Amino acid sequence: MELAYIPSPSRGVLHLGPIPLRGYAFCIIIGVFVAVWLGNKRWIARGGRAGTVADIAVWAVPFGLVGGRLYHVITDYELYFSAGRDWVDAFKVWEGGLGIWGAIAFGAVGAWIGCRRRGIPLPAYADAIAPGIAFAQAIGRWGNWFNQELYGRETHLPWALHITSSEGGRVPGYYHPTFLYESLWCVGVGVLVIWADRRFKLGHGRAFALYVAAYCVGRGWIEYMRVDDAHHILGLRLNDWTAIIVFLLAVAYIVLSSRKRPGRETVVEPGAADELGEPVEGSADGADSADGKDVEDVEDKDSEGRNSEGRNSEGRKSEGKASGGAGSEGAPESGAEAADASGPTDEAKSADEAESASSATKKG
C-alpha cells in the first residue's frame, strides 16, 4: 500500500446545469491569460503600447489551437482514422491532445499576421511573450492531470501519480507524473528567459529562441520517460526527434542572430514613445530639454555674431586710423567717419586757434 502519492481527480469535468466545465479547457484558458498579461507588461517595458499583445493574441491563439490539434491528429492518426475509430473525435479538443510543436508553429503564423497589420517586428513581439508562453505551458500541463494522461513509467516514489481510469487502454497503478515534471521545467524555463533577458539584453528573437532551446532540453528527457503509445524512429519517440531538431535550429538562430544583429531593438512599436510621453529626438519633454538646448545654441550664436561684428568694426576703425596717419592714396572718408576714425584734423585745429585769437583780440 502506497503511503504517499498524487491522486488523480475522479472526473475531469463538472456540469453547471447543461454547461460542462472541463478542467483541461480551464487550464488552457488560464495559461493564455497569464501569457498575455505577462507579455503585455514586458511589451510596455520595451516601449510598446498597452493592449498590443492582446490584440495580436487574437490572431495567435486560434492559430495555435488549430496547429496544436493538427499536429496531434497527424502524428497520432490511428486514434481517429483506424478501424473502429470515429473520425469525428479528431475535433474534440476538450478531450485532450494538443501538440506544442504545432501550436507554436501555427501560433507564430497568426502572430506574424497580427504584427504585420500593426507594423510591428515579429521577433520583438516573440521576445516579449516568450516567458509567458513557458508559464502558460506549465499551467496547461495540469489539464493532463484532469484527463489522467501523459504519465511515465511505473514507480513507487512518494510523488507517484495514481491512475485510476481504465479507459483508452490505461492500466490503473502508480506512475511517474511526467505532466508535473514538465510543468516544473516550464516554470524554470520562464524564469531563465526573464533572467537572461535582463542580464544580456536579448533582442531580435533571441529570448524566444532561448525559450525554445531550453524547453526542448526538458522535453527530451521527459518524453523519454513516457509510456503512452507513440511512433518510434531508430528507437526514439517522434517527439524526441522533434525536440532534437528544434533545439539545434534554436541554438543556430541564437548564434547567427547575435553576430548579424547584436544588441536589442530600440523601437518595437512605431509611435508608441510619443503616446507614452517618453523622451524622443526633438521633444521638449526630454530629460535634456532639446528645445532648451536649441534656444541656448541660438543665443550663443547670436552672441558670437555680435562679438564678431564688434571685432570686425574695431578692425575697420584701426585700418582707418592707419590709413589716415600714413597719408594713403585711398578714397577720402566722409566727415563723420573721418572724425570717428582719426579724431580732429590739423586744419580743424588751425581754425579753432584762429577763432580763439580773434575772440581774444576783440576782448582786448
To the nearest whole number, what is the mean pLDDT of the chain? 80
Sign of CA dihedral 252, 256, 259, 263: negative
334 DSSP 8-state letter: P
- pLDDT value of position 242: 94
Helix (H, G, I), strand (E, B) or coil at 196: helix
- pLDDT value of position 103: 95
Closest CA to 1 of 195, 169, 162, 128: 162
9 DSSP 8-state letter: P
Give 47-85 as a 3 state SS string: CCCCCHHHHHHHHHHHHHHHHHHHHHHHHCCHHHHCCCC
Helix (H, G, I), strand (E, B) or coil at 174: strand
Helix axis angle, 52-75 to 100-118, nearest 10°: 150
Amino acid at 157: L
Strand ranges in 156-211 using DSSP code E only, listed in sequence order: 161-163, 173-175
Residues 309-330 have a mean pLDDT of 46
Reply yes or no on whether the pLDDT at 354 is more than 70: no
Question: Rounded to the nearest 5°, which phi and psi values hold at 50?
Answer: -70, 135
* C-alpha atoms less than 13 angstroms from C-alpha of 171 in its C-beta half-sphere: 7
Cα maximum dimension of the chain: 153
pLDDT digits (tens, 9 = 90+) for 200-232: 999 999 999 999 999 999 999 999 898 888 888
Give kind and range of the element (H or E) at residue 319: helix 290-326
CA 128 – CA 132 distance, rounded (Å): 8
Instruction: Out of 50-59, 305-314, 327-336, give the one with best mean pLDDT.
Output: 50-59
Closest CA to 141 of 92, 202, 189: 189
- pLDDT value of position 227: 85
Q: Are strands 232-233 and 173-175 parallel, antiparallel or unpaired?
A: unpaired
Helix axis angle, 290-326 to 335-342, nearest 10°: 90
pLDDT digits (tens, 9 = 90+) for 255-299: 999 999 999 999 999 877 666 555 443 333 333 433 444 434 444
- pLDDT value of position 169: 79
179 within 8 A of 145, measured Cβ to Cβ: yes
Q: Which residue has the higher pLDDT, 329 or 178?
A: 178
pLDDT digits (tens, 9 = 90+) for 72-127: 999 888 888 888 888 888 888 877 788 999 999 999 999 999 999 999 999 999 99
138 within 8 A of 186, measured Cβ to Cβ: yes
CA 178 to chain centre: 32
* Grid-cell match 491512475, residue found: 163
Q: What's the count of helices (H) and strands (E) in the chain, helices before strands?
A: 13, 7
